[in-house]
Amino acid sequence: MAFPPSFESSFVTQQVQASTQRHTGIAQEASRRRTFAVISHPDAGKSTLTEALALHARVIGTAGATNGKENRRETVSDWMQMEKDRGISISSTALQFSYRDTVINLLDTPGHSDFSEDTYRVLAAVDCAVMLIDAAKGLETQTMKLFEVCRQRNIPIITVINKWDRPGLDALALMDEVTERTGLIPMPLTWAVGFAGDFRGVWDLKRDEFVRFTRKNAGASLATEEHLSPAEALAQEGDAWTDALDEASLVIESNQPFSIESFHAGTGTPVLFSSAVLNFGVQHILDTLVDLAPAAGPRRDVDGTPRPVDAPFSGFVFKVQAGMNRAHRDHVAFIRVCSGVFERGMVVTHANSGKTFATKYAQQLFGREREVIDEAWPGDVVGLVNASALRMGDSLYVEEPVEFPPIPLFSPEHFRVARSKDAGRFKQFRRGIEQLGHEGIIQVLRSDLRGDQAPVLAAVGPMQFEVVADRMEHDFGAPMRMEPLPYSLARLTTHDAQAALSAIRGTEVLVRSDGEYLALFNDIWALRRVEKNSPEISLSTIGTDAGDARGY
């Protein structure tokens, strides 16, 4: 049957309009997303700030932090028992909530260097980072290492000086340290009124007003804010106000006024002052993220080609986690949506295997809490439940094939043999070890000589072994014991080199879960002897060099 030309023309026009609307809708939704991580040294207040941001966005009613970690209740982002007991973040979590007309995807990260790999994976999935600095300690070692990762990935950074309610360093000295150690140009958006330990409020430079804070309910609820004109601030605060104006003006004159281009280019950093534990200055941080942080944009594939946000759906796995909720004996693959719209139930292609599967069980995450999600947009994080074939760094797509850069493993520096305490629980022991290796909690190595009952666990930091022991006992019901091995570094090798290396004293070759052969050495001298005496043996670094494992 032939259709009249006018009908065919109308049909084509409708198809073009529908396609245009779809692309426009995806771009608009992407522009509403802010996906970021908070990076800091341990105990700088990262999880407290995470919860304070959720409190100010009105998605929780009471903050979990009070006057300090001795009195602190669990935070919404710390869900493991070890995290609650120690008051530190061990595993990264995702929190999604709305603020104003913007969707916030906040990825909370571990601060401790022993969990460097987990933090690195999270930073592969964000568009911006908040660098949290303890006012009393300045830029600490782990903060600088995380900053270097952001620099390498061209991630814009917002600097927040936290804990201004406690005695600390001079504000100008902190700005000098930021400049000297990071090379970033500090661009103040707020400036503390009152010295460290006497936090009265902030000068909001954009609005040219004094925002005075009053602590409320020991910091568990929103602080009271009072907005005063400069004249009122001068009359009530006197020298504290004029000092704040003079200091901030000096920083601006020495560097430059705020420039969003410098911020997005990674040459300048917006600076804000806060006390997360008291909920002082937190609203300004949220507003800065909404108003100034980059929205979800094109992501580069393995060839360096940007994938437009309005291309068909694509995403990559940046984390796999089990045991988040005792009521659910399942595991979750965290997916960063890179392009298109994700729809629950859609059939996606696993780029690494070429196989397709339906995304039946998709969830939105808020710490360990979760709910079913029907759709998600570029910048969002989706939890795919029991997608057992997925590994960290895997890419997913529909229609147009794409593969995103892999997430490298780190070179382990600590090694222990694991054995089940109860021979009758060996099946649970083996299943637990395999699951933790799948999640990337630990690297699992095996050899015919040691057998399956004594796998070798390899870690970047020793606290990873504590997490393994805790998870094995409480999640899998398989208590275990571990014995340290004398090795301190590893190199990738080949099957052909296995016999020669195994005959060398102070060296052992094992096979990792992904099939790679790892040569373990007692120390750097053992490695150098092999390199000198047997140059024909293939040895290469693992993801990052052993010496850089904690520094990315």
Residue at 49 is within a domain: yes
Residue at 104 is within a domain: no
In angstroms, the CA 117 to CA 121 distance is 6
Q: CA separation (Å) from 212 to 227, 238, 324?
A: 6, 14, 39
In angstroms, the CA 63 to CA 76 distance is 8
Same-domain pairing of 195 and 315: no
Instruction: Indicate the residue among 264, 292, 320 that finishes a domain.
Output: 292
Instruction: Indicate the residue among 277, 292, 307 that finishes a domain.
Output: 292
Tens-digit pLDDT string for the chain (552 aa): 555 666 555 545 545 455 555 678 999 999 999 999 998 888 888 888 988 888 888 776 555 543 334 444 444 444 445 444 554 444 457 888 899 999 999 987 775 666 667 778 888 999 999 999 999 999 988 888 889 889 988 999 999 999 999 999 999 999 999 999 999 999 999 999 999 999 999 999 999 999 999 987 766 778 889 999 999 999 999 999 999 999 999 999 988 889 999 999 999 999 999 999 999 999 999 999 999 999 999 999 999 999 999 999 999 999 888 765 555 566 788 999 999 999 999 999 999 899 999 998 888 876 667 788 899 999 999 989 877 788 889 999 999 999 999 887 788 999 999 999 998 899 999 999 998 888 888 999 999 888 889 999 999 888 889 989 998 998 889 999 999 999 999 999 999 999 899 889 889 999 998 899 999 999 999 999 999 999 999 999 886 543 343 333
Q: What is the pLDDT of residue 29?
A: 97
Residue at 543 is within a domain: yes
Q: Which two tokens stand for residue 71?
A: 């009195």
Same-domain pairing of 313 and 419: no
Residue at 65 is within a domain: yes
Residue at 102 is within a domain: no
Residue at 97 is within a domain: no
Exposure string over 300-312, b if 16+ CB within 10 A, otherwise e: ebeeeeebbbbbb
Same-domain pairing of 326 and 212: no
Residue at 302 is within a domain: yes
Which residues participate in the annotated binding site for GTP?
Answer: 108-112
Same-domain pairing of 40 and 20: no
Query: Residue 129 pairs with which residues in a beta bridge?
Result: 37, 157
Q: Which domain holds residue 22?
A: 1-31+297-406
Same-domain pairing of 400 and 451: no
CATH of the domain at 362: 3.40.50.300
146 three-state secondary structure: helix
Same-domain pairing of 271 and 158: yes
Same-domain pairing of 305 and 205: no
Residue at 505 is within a domain: yes
Q: Quote the DSSP letter at residue 280.
A: B
* Counted domains in the chain: 3
Instruction: Indicate the residue among 227, 261, 292 that finishes a domain.
Output: 292
Same-domain pairing of 329 and 432: no
Asked whether the beta carbons of 107 and 382 are under 8 A apart, the reply is no
Same-domain pairing of 254 and 328: no
Q: What is the pLDDT of residue 372?
A: 86
Same-domain pairing of 208 and 310: no
CATH of the domain at 540: 3.30.70.3280
**What residues contact residue 252 under an 8 Å CB cut-off, 6+ apart?**
187, 188
Same-domain pairing of 162 and 230: yes
Same-domain pairing of 83 and 222: yes
